[in-house]
């Protein structure tokens, strides 16, 4: 059984059975972006509609810009998986998911075509016009599942989306910013500086306890942050650029109008 698409930008409806009612009603307040991570876009679409796979998303955008809707926005799709953001572990119940056709890091990770990104931007703008989603809750899959996911990855043009009115973003501090490597934090470090860094990541929403140890989890959270907000070098090291960009992002969020 088909359904009427939520957006006039949808080219085709290909219904996925992998959905159900949302936990707290039909409204969503997170927009979550993914890449498909499979060699074939068609294979990805088939998997997202396979009842055995039990995964889905609301939308998929192909390389040529074609937009498919698989799940009505009012329903809960299965795209976030095991996840966490700002204290919540059921991200599927409060999000709209867009899968962007790209084979991902395991299959060469090509650039996102311009026409595909134009379609993604228009779809995001359309979703945001119909849903109350704060800029800081336009997120990457890697943000909410950093131990498992790295999509949509460092090539995804978050700055271009921000310029189009989508999401929250700040210009990353230059790699050479704020000096000496001796002030950088990396796996194996511990102490108050690490604890402060962990508190800042947790304050933004990342699932990171404050224990003062730059452990493996801290490294993957730093990596996830870099994938989204400081993609020039993604290495899990909290260098001066990463720390400065994080503080600037927190400051920018504090300046947003309160909903």
Give the C-alpha separation, 196 to 132, whole Å: 31
Give the C-alpha separation, 226 to 148, whole Å: 15
Of 20, 63, 99, 154, the active-site residue reads: 99
Give the C-alpha separation, 222 to 231, whole Å: 11
Q: How far is CA 99 from CA 117, 170, 173, 175, 183, in A?
A: 12, 24, 29, 31, 38
3-state secondary structure of 185: strand
Nearest-5° Cα angle at 27, 116 to 52: 65
Active site residue 99: yes
Active-site annotation, residues: 99
């Amino acid at each position: 059984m088909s359904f009427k698409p939520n957006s006039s930008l949808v080219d085709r409806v290909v219904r996925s059975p992998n959905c159900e009612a949302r936990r707290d009603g039909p409204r969503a307040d997170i927009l979550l972006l993914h890449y498909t991570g499979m060699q074939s876009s068609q294979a990805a679409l088939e998997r997202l509609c396979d009842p055995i796979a039990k995964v889905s998303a609301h939308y998929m955008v192909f390389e040529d810009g074609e937009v498919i809707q698989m799940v009505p926005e009012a329903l809960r799709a299965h795209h976030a998986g095991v996840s966490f953001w700002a204290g919540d572990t059921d991200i599927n119940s409060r999000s709209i998911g867009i899968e962007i056709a790209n084979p991902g890091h395991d299959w060469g990770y090509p650039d996102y075509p311009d026409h595909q990104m134009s379609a993604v931007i228009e779809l995001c703008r359309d979703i945001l016009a119909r849903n109350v989603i704060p800029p800081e809750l336009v997120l990457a899959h890697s943000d909410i599942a950093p131990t498992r996911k790295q999509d949509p990855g460092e090539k995804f043009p978050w700055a271009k989306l921000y310029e189009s009115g989508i999401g929250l973003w700040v210009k990353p501090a230059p790699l050479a910013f704020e000096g000496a490597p001796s002030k950088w934090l990396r796996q194996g470090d511990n102490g108050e500086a690490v604890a402060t860094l962990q508190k800042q990541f947790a304050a933004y929403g990342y699932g990171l306890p404050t224990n003062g140890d730059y452990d493996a989890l801290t490294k993957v959270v730093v990596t996830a942050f870099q994938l989204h907000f400081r993609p020039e070098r993604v290495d899990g090291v909290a260098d001066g650029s990463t720390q400065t960009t994080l503080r600037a992002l927190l400051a920018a969020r504090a300046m947003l109008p309160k909903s």
